[in-house]
Amino acid sequence: MLTAYQEVRDRIYEMARRYSLRPDWAESTRNVRLLLLYDASQMVVARATVPVRDITMAKLERLRDDLAPIFGKEWME
Amino acid sequence: MRLTVLVQHEQALDTGAWVWTALPQGFPGSAGGRTIPELHDEVEALKHFFTGEDQETDIAVDYIYELPGVAPEILIDYRHERSERDRVASELTRANDQLSAKARAAASALRAAGLSIRDCAALMGLSKSRFEQISS
């Protein structure tokens, strides 16, 4: 599973392109960035937090599970 | 609305630091902090994002801590007892306010009836100086 922030971010961009979704970063805190995914009609289809610092397995698994309905279960592999 | 957050203590993969992770139950996202107060601040900042609610929505957060080696009941029992203490303390304050009002009324009635301060104090079960405080 991807564990580095840059890898995860790039995978999100890649998957978003594949599913014709637009990623948008709502804001950032010290530890996470807030991600919104929009479909072609500009509806938010998913929201998630992407850890940038002090990355833990629990946070990564939560991110994987939050976006699995959109990107599929294996999207972070 | 209420938001329940599960809190875990784990080692970060990138920094190696032991950190706190908050996982909202039933909502997407996560938050974290190197200390519990830092985690609380981040959850407060992100709770509307987690739930998808407007910023105006009042969201109370319930924390459930998973602490290895510490039974969850220890904190739950402590919090329960503390809220029970706060409830009783609040009732005591209210009862004291009511008693003060009754004491002033009684003191006033006794003095109006022409009783001496010493007799008034005795009837009310107070010291003379305490009676004087109440009736002043």
Q: What is the pTM for the complete model shown?
A: 0.76
Contact A49 B52 (CB under 8 A): no
Query: What per-residue confidence (pLDDT) applies to B14?
Result: 92
pLDDT per residue, tens digit, chain B (136 aa), is 999 999 999 999 999 999 999 999 999 999 999 999 999 999 999 999 999 999 999 999 999 999 888 887 888 889 899 999 999 999 999 999 999 999 999 999 999 999 999 999 999 999 999 999 998 8
Query: What per-residue confidence (pLDDT) applies to B90?
Result: 97
Show Cβ contacts of residue A59 under 8 Å, excluding neighbours closer than 6 positions.
Answer: A32, A49, A51, B21, B30, B32
Query: What per-residue confidence (pLDDT) applies to B136?
Result: 81
pLDDT digits 0-9 by tens, A18-29:
999 999 998 888
3-state percent helix, strand, coil for chain A, nearest multiple of 5: 40, 30, 35
Contacts across the A-B interface (CB distance below 8 Å)? 77
Q: Give the minimum alpha-carbon distance from A18 to chain B in angstroms, rounded to a whole number.
A: 22
Return the amino acid letter for B57: T
Query: What per-residue confidence (pLDDT) applies to B117?
Result: 94
Query: What per-residue confidence (pLDDT) applies to B67?
Result: 87
Contact B28 A66 (CB under 8 A): yes
Contact B30 A47 (CB under 8 A): no
